[in-house]
Structure 1
Amino acid sequence: MMKVLAIASIGGHWIQLLRLKPAFNNVNLEFVSTNECCAAMVPEHTFYAVPDSNRSNKIDVLKSFWNISKLLVKTRPDAIITTGAAPGLMGIIAGKMLGIKTIWIDSIANIDELSMSGKIAMKFADRVYTQWPHLANTKVLYSGSVL
């Protein structure tokens, strides 16, 4: 059975990721977020907590990358899907380095342009999706919104 690791920061990114659960009924879906409390929202799935990070603290971003890389080596997923933000991007980059298929779904909050993380994800992810049709192009796909 295919194993998918779903990664998102707590908050809106996490809520959007949870909205995707029905799309993964026939896979082994495991979750990663930045707060242990999220585990209670996915009791039927394996859950891992990783440190939060953001672009204002480069050391935390490196710690996040290291922790997520170790988790990927340990869990060996076939694919990674993320709605962001920084921990999801670290998952995309580390996953690509390990040969794992990767999918980035940019947050619905980014109505005018892709998020900064989404723009970086375009360089690494196998697929990048936007939730706004006017942001789609040859590298960024639109297939509807999550919310």
Structure 2
Amino acid sequence: MAERKKKVLAISSGGGHWVQLLRLRPAFEGSDVVYATVREGYRKDVGDAEFRLICDGNRWNKFKLLKSAAGIFLLLLRERPDVVISTGAAPGYFGVRFGKWLGARVIWVDSVANAEELSMSGQKAGEFVDLWLTQWQHLAGENGPQWMGSVL
């Protein structure tokens, strides 16, 4: 009997977070991947892979933040991924937080742009993830993210 492929939900907000998430694509080979992000125009970036549009939310727009959280929770209930991976920001936080609640393995790769300190979403997500990575060696710590070289 053939082994079932792992289902991965790769989720992020737009801009640099999305670009960094796409740079991780080689790590997803051999998996069924669903990409989720905040801009319809990004659909073309994933070719034939599954794509889900989610509401963007941030700390300055609480209504959209709640709408984003609810939509991401429903997405996770529908997709039931084995692994959730994110490069940030708020949508990624909700993805890993809710993914963990639902039994998925969760991975956070903090944004390469955060060279001086960890991102706010990364700091909040860190306590819930199975693997927490930073791109910067000086940001790694015993109770913080790991540095395994520059993965992006």
Q: TM-score band, normalised by the shorter chain?
A: over 0.9
Task: Establish whether residue 144 from structure 1 lines up as the match of residue 149 from structure 2.
Answer: yes
- Amino acid across the alignment from 2:116: D
Q: Distance in 1 between matches of 2:66 and 2:100?
A: 16
Q: State the partner residue of 1:62.
A: 66
Bigger Rg, structure 1 or 2: 2
What fraction of aligned residue pairs are identical, expressed as a percent? 49
1:88 lines up with 2:92 in the alignment: yes
- What code does the residue aligned with 1:84 have? G
- In structure 1, give the amino acid aligned to 2:145: V
Residue 141 of structure 1 aligns to a residue whose secondary structure is coil
| Local SS of the residue matching 1:7 | strand
Instruction: State how far apart, in whole Å, the 1-side matches of 2:98 and 2:75 are.
Output: 10
TM-superposed CA distance for 1:24, in Å, is: 1.1
Matched ranges for 1:20-31 at <5 A: 20-31=24-35
User: 1:4 aligned to 2:8?
Assistant: yes
- The equivalent residue for 1:40 is 44
Query: Paired residue for 2:101?
Result: 97
| Cα distance in 2 for residues equivalent to 1:115 and 1:99 | 25
| Alignment-derived partner of residue 110 in structure 1 | 114
In structure 1, the partner of 2:123 is 119
Normalising by structure 1, what TM-score?
A: 0.96
Q: In the TM superposition, what is the alpha-carbon distance from 1:146 to its structure 2 partner?
A: 3.7
Distance 1:124 1:60 in 2: 23
Q: TM-score, normalised by structure 2?
A: 0.93
Q: Which runs of 4+ in 1 moved over 4 A?
A: none
- Indicate the RMSD between aligned Cα atoms, in angstroms: 1.0
User: What's the counterpart of residue 77 of structure 2?
Assistant: 73
